[in-house]
Structure 1
Amino acid sequence: HYHWHFEIVPKLTSIAGFEWGSGFYINPMPPEDTCRYLREAL
Structure 2
Amino acid sequence: MKEENLIVRSVTKKKYSSYAGEITPATPNLIQRNFKAEAPDKK
Structure having the higher Rg: 2
Question: Structure 2-normalised TM-score?
Answer: 0.20
Question: Structure 1-normalised TM-score?
Answer: 0.20
